[in-house]
A = this chain, B = another copy of it.
C-alpha cells in the first residue's frame, strides 16, 4: 500500500521556483508593480510554494471564492473548504493583465509574483458567515477578512521564497514532498497528522498514542510563524514537545515537523482545510479532538468532527480520526476519554493548557497526571526566565 494521493488525485503542485528560474523571476519582479501582503497572505504563498495547497495554482478568482464559501467546491467541482485569497486597494493601482510582486515586510520582502487575471469585489459578510459561521468582528478570523482591502486579485502565482522558515526552523520545517519521502522511507502508508500550536500535555500524548497504536505512524505537525502576543515562543514550545516525544514515545513511531500556514481559527471549516493540506503532506488521517481550530465559544466542541460526516463521498481521501474529550481518571488509573471512561466528574482531572501555564507562571506545580515532568520543566524554565519572581 502506498501513501494517500495529493488532494485532487494528481501529483503535488509546488509553485516554488528554485535555482536559476527563481533568480530570473526575482529579476523580472523588479519591473513589476508591488503589492504589500499580510502575514496570512504571505504564509498562504509559502503553502502554495511547497505544494501544501495542491492542486491550487494561485489565489482564487470569484467563481472559486464563491463556490468555496457557499458549497466548499472550487469552480472545477473539487472539494475546497476555505478561500485562499489576496486583496488590494484602489491605491495599489493593480489591474487584470498586470504582473505583480507580492511583498511581505515580515517575511523578508519579495515572496511571490502573480499574473493578475481577475480583480473582483466580495461580500465579506457572506464569506464570514459561511466560513466562520459568524460575522462578529472580535472573531480573529473574521477580523482578518474584514481588514482585507477592497478588491480580491486572482491569478497564477510563482513563489520565490519560503520566508526564512528553512533557515529558522531547520529540520523541523518540511515540504510535503519531504514528509512523503520520509514516510515512504519509514515504510508508512497509514499516517495520522496531529495538529498543534501548543505544548503537548498528557491528553495530547493520549490522542497521539491512540493513533500510534492503530496507524503506521504519526506526524506531529506544528504551526510555525509569527505568534500572537502572549503565546509561548515557538522554540520553547518545540523544546516542550521534544521533551515529550523523546521521553514517552518509541523512536520511529512519530515524526515531528512544522508548516507555515497561519491559523484562521475557523473551527470546522479550518479542520477541513487542515485535512486537505495534511493529505498533501502524505497523511491518510487527521486527529480531530475537541474544538479543533476553534476560538472562544464560536464552535461546539465536536463541530469539527461532525462536519467530516456531512461531506459528499469522494471529497477527501484523508479520514478524520475523531477522539472525544480526554483526561486522566483516577478510577481508570490512566488516560481516558468520555467514550472510554464511565466514571464521574469527581474522578477526572480536567485542566486546560492555559490553566497550566497560569499555574506555572504563578510558581505553582500542575499535577503530574496532567503533564509529564520533563515537559513541565521546560515550561517552568521559560516562565522563570520571564520574571525572576517565580519561585518553584
Given A213-B340, A250-B342, 8 additional A-B pairs, CB 8 A: A210-B210, A213-B324, A213-B339, A249-B342, A250-B341, A251-B342, A333-B369, A334-B335
Partner of A247, one of B253, B338, B342: B342
Is A39 among interface residues, defined by CB-CB distance under 8 A?
A: no
Distance of A348 from chain B, by nearest CB (Å): 13
A339 touching B212, Cβ below 8 Å? yes
Which residues A301-342 have CB closer than 8 A to chain B?
A: 321, 323-324, 332-342
Is A25 among interface residues, defined by CB-CB distance under 8 A?
A: no
Instruction: State how many residues of chain A have any CB contact under 8 Å with chain B.
Output: 27
- Cβ contacts under 8 Å, A336 to chain B: 209
Nearest opposing residue in chain B for A206, CB measure: B334
Partner of A340, one of B249, B321, B338, B369: B249
Q: How many chain copies?
A: 2
B209 touching A250, Cβ below 8 Å? no
- Cβ contacts under 8 Å, A253 to chain B: 339-340
Pairs of residues from A and B, 10 with the lowest C-beta to C-beta distance, nearest first: A334-B334, A209-B340, A250-B342, A210-B213, A212-B340, A214-B214, A212-B339, A213-B323, A334-B335, A210-B210
> In the complex, A369→B334 CA distance in Å?
10
Distance of A253 from chain B, by nearest CB (Å): 6
Name A's interface SS: loop
Is A32 among interface residues, defined by CB-CB distance under 8 A?
A: no
Distance of A188 from chain B, by nearest CB (Å): 13
- Cβ contacts under 8 Å, A248 to chain B: 332, 342
Q: Indicate the member of A212, A339, A340 with the most B CB atoms within 10 Å.
A: A340
User: Knowing A210-B213, A210-B214, A321-B214 touch, does A250 contact B339 (C-beta < 8 A)?
Assistant: yes
Nearest opposing residue in chain B for A329, CB measure: B248
Q: Which residues of A contact B (CB under 8 A)?
A: 209-210, 212-214, 247-251, 253, 321, 323-324, 332-342, 368-369
Distance of A149 from chain B, by nearest CB (Å): 44
Distance of A220 from chain B, by nearest CB (Å): 14
- Cβ contacts under 8 Å, A340 to chain B: 209, 212-213, 249-250, 253
> In the complex, A214→B285 CA distance in Å?
12
- Cβ contacts under 8 Å, A335 to chain B: 334
Distance of A364 from chain B, by nearest CB (Å): 21
Distance of A62 from chain B, by nearest CB (Å): 36
Can you pick out 26 interface pairs between chain A and chain B where the beta carbons lie within 8 Å of each other? A209-B336, A210-B213, A210-B214, A212-B339, A212-B340, A213-B323, A213-B337, A213-B339, A213-B340, A214-B214, A214-B321, A214-B323, A247-B342, A248-B332, A248-B342, A249-B340, A249-B342, A250-B338, A250-B339, A250-B341, A250-B342, A253-B340, A333-B334, A333-B369, A334-B334, A334-B335
Nearest opposing residue in chain B for A309, CB measure: B1
Distance of A312 from chain B, by nearest CB (Å): 13
> In the complex, A324→B369 CA distance in Å?
24
> In the complex, A143→B212 CA distance in Å?
40
> In the complex, A342→B244 CA distance in Å?
11
